[in-house]
Amino acid sequence: MTGEGAAPELSSIPREARRFQGTPAGIVTRFVANSIDALVVAVVLCTMYLGYSAIIFMLDPRTFEFPAVTFLASLTVALVVATLYLWLAWWLLGRSYGAHVMGIRVAGRRGRKLGPLRALARAWFCVFFPIGLFWCVVSPHRRSVQDVVLFTSVVYDWRPRTPAGPDPQPPAVGESPGMPGAAS
Amino acid sequence: MADARTSPGSRVVPRVSPDAQRALDVTLGLAGMTVGAAVVAVRTAHRVTAPVTRLLWRPPLLPRSLHPATILEEAARTGRAEQVALRRRFEVLLDAWAPVLVEAVVERIDLTRLVREHVDLDALVASVDLDAAVARVDLDAAVARVDLDAIAATLDVDAVVARADLDAAVARVDIEAILDRVDLDAIAATLDVDAVVARADLDRVIARIDIVRIVEEVLDAIDLPAIIRDSTGSMASETVRGVRMTGVSADDALSRVVDRALFRRRHPERPGGPA
């Protein structure tokens, strides 16, 4: 984290975890984070369903029945919710809840947060092409298809705060986005 | 012809009458004329008798050793030698007797009163070049012979210090110049810090320290609230930390397997990669 020769800084990150901060995250960590995000989306969908049912119940309690949900509608809503969730999370916070739990974040050029457009594009791409994540298994830079296309990266970052500011322009091809001072 | 009157200073002053003074002048004038005539007569006689005298002193027919002049010269030389020997014997006697005689005389004379009455000591001292005299004195040798310890033992130091204006003295001291000449590092190197600390009352020192203020400054410097926010916000519990570390290890292990399968070298930016 700290460049050689710089003044030592106090950090809440454990000593054994400092050496890989800012380096690209691997498939296991990212998959676990995405699974947690899927659970979050599922919880949100359940909450929305229960809220929708509660509204129907309050409107006509005597004839109340749980609303029937078709697979297509459920899938559509789930995809939309997941897209919105990831978009807002990556744009505003730089990481989703699953990434927060696993200590990773999505980084643009020079480790900054994504801008709204690129965050939205990445969220849409990840939701509709989730298998692209597994390209990071064979990628030398641990980049998924979304990372390669949108010039992003997912790095280990156990710090809760994310460098502010959107990514002004996409990084050059082959350049490894990461945190300032990270090994690259 | 002459009388004498006593002056107020008890000194006798002779008074000469004019007749007596005139007679004295005449006598002196006649005496001078007589002496002058005698001198002229002698010079004339000498000039006239000089050839005869030379013949008498150096007769041409006699050997040189029998000349009256040679005999007289020999006698004069013998007399001169006797004179030198006699002077030496006299000096020996004088050396022997002079101290005795002077001692005997001094015993009978009050020299102090004599010097006080007849010697102008102020004029004498004024004529002495005291600076030159002091310059010739070997003060180091003089001080070396002085028993300074004995002198210091007799000093009433308290009284001396009480009379001294120490404030004025210290104000004139150039303390910075003194400190520049002092090798404080060498002095500090000789200090037994352990002994100093052992004698120090650390409890009193600690009691005087404003620990609360120091802690506040430290907390301001390290921004402890931010660290606490980081620690809590990053879910730094042991469980989450363990899950994260497990994920990192799994990522690394899987990357090693893939690299080995693809005959690829470890990428340096990955955890555990080559530096």
Tell me which of A7-16, A103-112, B109-118 is least confident.
A7-16
pLDDT above 90 as % of chain B:
23
Which chain A residues contact residue B261 at CB under 8 A? none
DSSP-based three-state secondary structure for B2: strand
pLDDT digits (tens, 9 = 90+) for B123-158: 888 888 888 888 888 888 888 888 888 888 888 888
User: Which among B227, B234, B267 has CB closest to A10?
Assistant: B227
Instruction: Please determine, for residue A126, whether its predicted confidence score (pLDDT) is greater than 60.
Output: yes
Tokens of B223: 């921004």
> A153: which strand partners?
A107
Q: Tokens 């064979």 identify what position?
A: A138
Residues of chain A found within 8 Å of residue B247, distances taken between Cβ atoms: 26, 28-29, 32, 102-103
CA distances from B246 to A55, A120, A140, A154, B84 (A): 44, 30, 21, 17, 132
Which positions in chain A have a beta carbon within 8 angstroms of at least one beta carbon in chain B?
A: 10-14, 16-17, 19-20, 23-29, 32, 100-103, 137-138, 140-142, 156, 158-161, 176, 178, 182-184
Q: How many CB atoms lie within 10 A of CB A115?
A: 17
ipTM score here? 0.78
| Residue A127, pLDDT score | 94
CA distance A177 to A112: 9
B206-243 pLDDT, tens digit each: 888 888 888 888 777 776 766 666 666 555 577 888 89
Rounded to 5 degrees, what are φ and ψ at A153? -160, 160
Of the candidates A88, A134, A91, A87, the one whose C-alpha atom is nearest the C-alpha of residue A112 is A91
Q: Looking at A20-171, which runs of residues are DSSP E strands?
A: 104-107, 153-156
Helices (H), chain B: 18-57, 68-107, 111-118, 121-126, 130-136, 139-145, 148-154, 157-163, 166-172, 175-181, 184-190, 193-199, 202-208, 211-222, 224-233, 238-261
Q: Pick the range with the lowest mean pLDDT from A99-108, B67-76, B156-165, B264-273.
A: B264-273
Better-predicted residue by pLDDT, B93 or B16: B93
Give the model's pLDDT for residue A172. Answer: 39
A157: chain B residues, CB-CB within 8 Å: none
Higher pLDDT, B42 or B231: B42
* Residue B215 Cα, gap to closest chain A Cα (Å): 16
Residue A105 reports pLDDT greater than 60: yes
Residue A179, pLDDT > 60, answer no
**pTM of this prediction exceeds 0.90:** no
User: Does residue B270 belong to the interface with chain A, where contact is any CB pair within 8 Å?
Assistant: yes
Q: What is the pLDDT of residue A175?
A: 40
- The answer to whether the CB atoms of A159 and B230 lie below 8 A apart is yes
